[in-house]
Structure 1
Amino acid sequence: MEPQELVEHRYRAVLEVLDGAPVVEVGLRYGVSRQSVHTWRKRYRELGVEGLKERSRRPHRSPARLPADVEALICELRQQHPRWGARRVAFELGRRNVEDRYADSKDATAPRPVDEDDWRAHRPHRGTRVFAPALLGSGRSLLGWR
């Protein structure tokens, strides 16, 4: 649904409620929950038609987000040493005097900020995928790469 159509859709629902139609029936007619209809009505009263526009779902703040310099250093370390795991990256951050909360070498969950810019080379597996229905009569199945 286009943004303008969405606003009109919500506006018609709100007008029905303001004219006295039960919220539950309006919600059923428009294919939304009664909570959505209540939200639209509240926003319409506070902001008018502008309040019926789609809002961003992005959080207002991200307290756990890494500082840009630490994120860049982690990405650089992972590019230079692709086999290093989280513990080694955390150890290296500690050696480089990065703030303690990012460099706790006991923590195996060193931040991995690669969602937006995935640097890893995607290599195919060597060999072929195999499946053995019963491994030497143990009743277990085996699925893996040969």
Structure 2
Amino acid sequence: MKDEIILRKQAVELHLQGVPICDIVHSLGRSRQWVHKWINRYRSVGGDDWYLSISTAPKRSGQRTPRKEEDLVINVRKALAGRRYSQTGALSIMYEIKRMGFHSPSIATINRI
């Protein structure tokens, strides 16, 4: 990673010195798109940390089951496991949650938890 950062800084430094993009590409062994990416990042971000990678991971998961629902399923599963001769499958958990008066998640969601 340290070498990658050095290459990014070199690419921008060479560009600022007026070296043509194609010469930068050949000297660093990188693609033209890569060089343009870091030149554009330098121009737009500036500052001291323009050369650092930006995470492309999602900031939040929109499909995540709410924590309260997960806890309810886990607690019901544990309660059913503690009973003698009870079933602890998703269908049994769904039935038990509905019997308690709560809105039950789908069977697929219960299986995932």
TM-score when scaled to structure 2?
Answer: 0.61
* Matched residue SS, 1:16: helix
What residue number does 1:75 align with?
74
Do residues 10 (structure 1) and 12 (structure 2) align? Answer: no
* Identity within the alignment, %: 30
Aligned residues of 1:10 and 1:52 also touching (Cα < 8 A)? yes
1:14 and 1:41 in contact (8 A); partners too: yes
**Aligned pair partner of 1:103 in 85, 88, 105:** 105
1:12 aligned counterpart, secondary structure = helix
- Residue 50 of structure 1 aligns to a residue whose secondary structure is coil
Q: Quote how far apart the aligned CAs of 1:10 are.
A: 1.0
Gap regions ≥5 residues in structure 2 = 82-86
1:10 partner amino acid = R
Q: Which has the higher helix share?
A: 2
C-alpha distance in structure 2 between counterparts of 1:43 and 1:17, whole Å: 13
**Residue pair 1:6, 1:53 contacting (<8 A) in 2 also:** no
- 8 A contact 1:24–1:33 mirrored in 2: no
Q: Which structure is higher in strand share? A: 1
Corresponding residue number in structure 2 for 1:40: 38
Matched, 1:21 2:23: no
1:63 corresponds to: 62
Q: How far apart are the structure 2 equivalents of 1:81 and 1:14? A: 63
**RMSD in angstroms over aligned alpha carbons?**
3.3
How far 1:12 moved relative to its partner?
0.8
Amino acid in the other structure paired with 2:62: P
1:50 equivalent to 2:53? Answer: no
User: Mean alpha-carbon deviation: is it higher for 49-58 or for 73-82?
Assistant: 73-82
Alignment coverage as a number of residue pairs: 104
**TM-superposed deviation, 1:61:** 2.3
By how many angstroms is 1:66 displaced?
Answer: 1.9
SS class of match (2:49): helix
* TM-score relative to the length of structure 1: 0.50
